[in-house]
Structure 1
Amino acid sequence: MKIVGKTDVGMVRDTNQDAFKILALGQGAGLALVCDGMGGAQGGDTASYIAKKVIAETIQEKYCDTMGSEAAKILVRESVLQANHAIYETARDDPELAGMGTTVVLALLYQNHAYVAHVGDSRLYRYRNHQLVQLTRDHSYIQEMVDRGELSPDQARVHPDRNFITRAVGVQWDVEIDLHVLELEPGDRLLLCTDGLSSTCTDEQIGEVLSQNPLEESAEILVRLANQGGGHDNITVVIVES
């Protein structure tokens, strides 16, 4: 298992409110995590930092290399809930951070499976057999319009309201978390990314990069493509190769 990550402030923003974490857990297991913070001048990077720290610490503390599938699902969910409570309590105690939150997409890589937790519009893609597939569904108003047939995916990618999300970690005491379990095959690549990439680059562009380049170069090229497309947001990518 190989994992690489890269984050970039982009061409417009003054600060980077994205965060990512790569964690080796031993015996081929690992964690890949991407967050996209939101909430004013300080709130966004505070929220994404707290999520990164709490999720990584929770998984590192409670991970066991003999746990079963159900325990792994419980662990990824618990890690996001712990982050949610930590962000919410921090914002409650500091008026300048009120309303802050973050997206989260993570994959706990364990025994040829990826245990995925997802909140917001950061995404997980899988590249397998020359095909790129988006495996998470954005929690956003624009995605709901796509689901109703009111927008095409290409229209959604450039819609002015594409950044309005319907779920975030830390905004309320409770949060609804999407969970997935993916069986991994040798050669699979997983891409975790913020919308700084997915709102700028098409699936065709992303798939082409993943198909033609080694892992580290793929991350570099994807960030460069997003910046060449305007770099309107922070850009973060984490790529896993099984």
Structure 2
Amino acid sequence: MRIGAFTDKGKAREVNEDCFFVSKFSDEMCSGYCIIADGMGGHNAGEVASKMAIDEIQQYIKESYSHEMTHEQIIQILKESMNKANTIIYNKSLENELFSGMGTTAILCFVYHQSLYIAHVGDSRAYIIRGEEMYQITTDHSMVEELISSGSITREEAQNHPQKNVITRALGGDKDTPVDIYIQEYKPGDIILICTDGLTNMLTNSEILSVIKDNNDLQLAVEELITIANDKGGLDNITVVVLGL
């Protein structure tokens, strides 16, 4: 398993409210996982929310996962880990006024044998690169995505929409937050990319694909992507994790 992972606060933000985690990967069992969270809220509450999400999800998987699990059990663990994080962040936001209204996106990518499982809340994204093409796996939980789905605006118009950064679902945002699950088979040579919107708002898909295809070292690819995002303005925190399967 080839891995590249990095986070940067960007050029415009004083604090990095993104957080990520990459587990150890077992080549024998071909299993492992990575998580990205992009927090939001005043008084650095976003930083607190994203770290809580990463910690709680990681801990739940550590306590619950075993190599003998079925397809259904893995899906259940992913959902339960996100639900647990949601409850803890939501309760924390009610207990402390400084954390009122805090929340975080979360995307959890779990590799097991020949399957890729993704649990998703918010507008951080997962992509798969296969051959010379890059496909978005997840669908954003955002205001503009709803407008695109309803036909009110085009995807091109969404790029500069005033509500571009408004998300409709986040961990900690409500007592119960639905979690989307995506399952995909992967093939030798596939590359998985997960990232926060600090990357996708600054680079096009073709730019991202070009950098990854030009770098066999995925750590160098990730760092180059973040450098380009910053060179274009770095308007948000930027976090990228790439897995070469």
Local SS of the residue matching 1:116? strand
User: 2:79 aligns to what?
Assistant: 77
Matched, 1:14 2:9: no
Matched, 1:32 2:25: no
- Following the alignment from structure 2 to structure 1, what is the Cα–Cα distance between the partners of residues 2 and 63? 22
- Following the alignment from structure 2 to structure 1, what is the Cα–Cα distance between the partners of residues 197 and 80? 24
- Following the alignment from structure 2 to structure 1, what is the Cα–Cα distance between the partners of residues 200 and 174? 26
Whether the 8 Å CA contact 1:35–1:102 is kept in 2: the answer is yes
User: What is the identity, as a one-letter code, of the residue corresponding to 1:21?
Assistant: F
Cα shift at 1:97:
0.2
- Following the alignment from structure 2 to structure 1, what is the Cα–Cα distance between the partners of residues 207 and 159? 13
Whether the 8 Å CA contact 2:36–2:195 is kept in 1: the answer is yes
Local SS of the residue matching 1:49? helix
- Following the alignment from structure 1 to structure 2, what is the Cα–Cα distance between the partners of residues 177 and 188? 25
Task: State the Cα deviation string for residues 40-96 of structure 1 (Å, max 9, x = none).
Answer: 122100000000000011111111111111111111111100100110111111011
User: 2:4 aligns to what?
Assistant: 4
Cα shift at 1:212:
1.3
User: 1:174 aligns to what?
Assistant: 176
> Unpaired runs of 5+ in structure 2?
none
User: 2:222 aligns to what?
Assistant: 219
RMSD, matched Cα: 1.1
Whether the 8 Å CA contact 2:15–2:44 is kept in 1: the answer is no
Question: Which deviates more, 113-122 or 140-149?
Answer: 140-149
Whether the 8 Å CA contact 2:37–2:107 is kept in 1: the answer is yes
User: What is the identity, as a one-letter code, of the residue corresponding to 1:236?
Assistant: T
- Following the alignment from structure 1 to structure 2, what is the Cα–Cα distance between the partners of residues 167 and 196? 18
Cα shift at 1:25:
5.3
- Following the alignment from structure 1 to structure 2, what is the Cα–Cα distance between the partners of residues 145 and 139? 11
Matched, 1:151 2:156: no
Whether the 8 Å CA contact 1:127–1:210 is kept in 2: the answer is no
Give % identity. Answer: 38
Cα shift at 1:160:
2.7
What's the TM-score, normalizing by structure 2?
0.96
Match of 2:130 among 106, 113, 128: 128
- Following the alignment from structure 2 to structure 1, what is the Cα–Cα distance between the partners of residues 181 and 234? 30
- Following the alignment from structure 2 to structure 1, what is the Cα–Cα distance between the partners of residues 193 and 151? 26
Question: Which deviates more, 150-159 or 7-16?
Answer: 150-159
Segments ≥4 residues shifted beyond 4 Å: none
Cα shift at 1:113:
1.1
Cα shift at 1:136:
0.5
Cα shift at 1:201:
0.6
User: 1:64 aligns to what?
Assistant: 66
Whether the 8 Å CA contact 2:4–2:220 is kept in 1: the answer is no
User: 1:53 aligns to what?
Assistant: 55
Report how many residues are paired.
242
User: 2:200 aligns to what?
Assistant: 198
Cα shift at 1:158:
3.0
Whether the 8 Å CA contact 2:4–2:221 is kept in 1: the answer is no
> Unpaired runs of 5+ in structure 1?
none
Whether the 8 Å CA contact 1:157–1:200 is kept in 2: the answer is no
